[in-house]
């Protein structure tokens, strides 16, 4: 794969904007167990994921969403995705997932922090929304690490969720 320069980087991860070529690495990592705390299900097949990828590219071209592909700096192995959605609203939404064999290694924390700082400056939101399943304690800790507090609840098809409001990074400095 031909990698462009990363948009962002952490100590161990390069973050690139999504490209269709990334789907080859993404597809096998989206499992039923991974998505148990997500509002969506795995794509039925690779062609269905390609359609989703086309929607991501369109959203990126319209500056309404950004999808960051996380890759290990040393090996370029795909680690996960971080999305910043509805960027043209005062309250964009953050979302992420890490492939299961890379869980509990700190990749989510260091990567979302970089995206959060970038999005705070680029988008300048009132605050970020971060919906998460009530029982997804690892993701809840990420929201709290970013300064988030539970502001609402909602019922998804698969689970009950809480919605964190996360003040932008720039507000946390003042």
| Alpha carbon distance 83, 65 (integer Å) | 7
The domain total for the chain is: 1
Beta strands in the chain (DSSP E): 8-9, 13-17, 65-72, 78-85, 93-98, 128-133, 149-155, 160-166
The pTM is what?
0.92
**For position 155, which CATH number holds?**
3.40.630.30
Q: Are 139 and 150 in contact (CB under 8 A)?
A: no
* Residues 34-78 pLDDT 10s: 999 998 899 999 999 999 999 999 999 999 999 999 999 999 999
* Residues 97-124 pLDDT 10s: 999 999 999 999 999 999 999 999 999 9
> Domain span at residue 130?
8-173
The answer as to whether 148 is a domain residue is yes
Q: Strand 65-72 relative to strand 13-17: parallel, antiparallel, unpaired?
A: antiparallel
């Amino acid at each position: 794969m031909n990698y462009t320069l990363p948009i962002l980087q952490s100590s161990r991860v390069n973050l690139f904007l999504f490209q269709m070529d990334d789907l080859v690495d993404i597809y096998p990592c989206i499992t039923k167990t991974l998505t148990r705390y997500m509002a969506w299900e795995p794509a039925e097949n690779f062609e269905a994921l390609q359609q989703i990828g086309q929607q991501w590219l369109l959203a990126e071209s319209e500056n309404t969403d950004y999808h960051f592909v996380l890759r290990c700096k040393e090996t370029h192995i795909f680690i996960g995705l971080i999305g910043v959605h509805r960027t043209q609203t005062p309250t964009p939404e953050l979302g992420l997932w890490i492939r299961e064999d890379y869980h509990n290694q700190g990749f989510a924390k260091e990567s979302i922090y970089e995206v959060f700082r970038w999005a705070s400056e680029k988008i300048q939101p009132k605050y970020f929304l971060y919906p998460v399943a009530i029982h997804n304690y690892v993701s809840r800790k990420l929201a709290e690490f970013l300064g988030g507090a539970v502001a609402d609840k909602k019922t998804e098809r698969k689970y009950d969720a809480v919605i964190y409001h996360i003040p932008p990074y720039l507000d946390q400095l003042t």
